[in-house]
Amino acid sequence: MLVRYDADSRTLFAVVQQGIEWPGEQWLMLDRFPFLVEALERGQAVFVEDARTAAAIPSKIIDMFGVHSIVGVPLMVEGNCLGFIVGDRKEGGGRFELTEDELSFLTTLGAVAAVFISKAEQYSALQNALDELQQLDEAKGEFISIASHELRTPIAAVHGLVATLHRRGEDLDEKQLREIVGGLYSSTSRLSELTEQLLDLSRIDAGVVPLEPKTFKALDSLASMVADIAPPSAKIEIDVPDSLEVTCDPHAFERVLSNVLANAFRYGRPPIIVRARRDDVTRVVVEDRGGGVDPSFAPRLFDRFTRSASSRASRLEGAGLGLSIAHSFARAIGGELSYEAAEPTGARFTLVLPG
């Protein structure tokens, strides 16, 4: 049997025993195996001719596997023990002895095996690091591609409208000027939203999201968000007790719910329902009566740069960042953001906060 050894907890883990793979579910404390304690302290292979008489291992294991003689070979590399090779001869299996030369050979063999295991682990760690770098590189390329695409559209619109004003401003009537101003407002609002999302993303990735918990009224914060985000004449129902207070970072709270609300107004259908309650935890729910999220897409709903086929087909603007950012901010303030289909139709997002 090959066993893994954790020095910090002095624990043994079965690696290979009749097909069991490490770490597996078999683990025992090293101190229950005196012959392995001796092998560790001496840094040499230790042989016990009669495990029961010497109390080398727990009697329960002797009875379970019929162990008679046993040998433990430490896997030592640079003064550290990675584990042990353990071999045994069952009762009735004939006389079994190991000479000092043979134990010395096994000690050397254990050291060589330990080097191979250590190098294999280093290679595995390097391979994992390389895989992560490749994934980061792919994510970087995807980020640049999507960000460039999403920024290009509003920038082109602003440039075109400003060019019209520059070349023909004096010839435009009041209605045309109002249309241009409206177009500029829409495009610059989109640019502002994208910039804020990209800044949020950079703070989250850098792990520098500033949090200053405060106690504030949930209704005041949510009503302010709705007023800023809701389109004209939007049908909205807000069911939040005036007395309900939330203790967390106000900006992070706003980043979570504003992204969820924007998503509901953009892709859902009225009425948009916002409600909040507190029992053992605080729950803030945003619900709409649209078509909901395709069940096949739901598991990737909070991934970055992902949009469902229906949202892409709708030609509505979006970089697939809002819900990912909302999910990250929810966790930053100790909460959790989840999605479920609403009844009879629609999408329901729930932010759960402790307390």
Task: Please name the residues in contact with 258: beta carbons below 8 A apart, sequence gap of 6 or more.
Answer: 225, 228, 229
Q: What is the pLDDT of residue 152?
A: 79
DSSP-assigned letters across all residues of 51-91: HHHHT-S-HHHHHHHTEEEEEEEEEEETTEEEEEEEEEEET
Distance CA 172, CA 170 (A): 6
> pLDDT of 40-74, one tens digit each?
999 999 999 989 999 999 888 888 888 889 999 99
At 301-324, the pLDDT tens digits run 888 766 665 555 555 555 567 898
Pair type for strands 2-6 and 80-90: antiparallel
Give the predicted TM-score (pTM) of the model: 0.54
263 residue type, one letter = N
Please list, in sequence order, all residues whose beta carbon lies within 8 angstroms of the beta carbon of residue 22, skipping any fewer than 6 positions away.
2, 4, 13, 14, 15, 16
Q: What is the mean pLDDT of the chain?
A: 85
The structural domains of the chain, ordered by start, are 2-98 (3.30.450.40), 138-206 (1.10.287.130), 214-354 (3.30.565.10)
> Do residues 180 and 171 lie in contact, with contact meaning Cβ atoms separated by under 8 Å?
no
pLDDT at 231 over 50: yes
pLDDT in tens, 14-44: 765 554 444 445 678 889 899 999 999 999 9
Q: Which residues, in sequence order, are CB contacts of 217 under 8 Å at separation 6+? A: 242, 244, 245, 246
Most confident of 22-31, 189-198, 211-220: 211-220
Confidence grade of residue 204 (pLDDT, cut at 50, 70, 90): confident
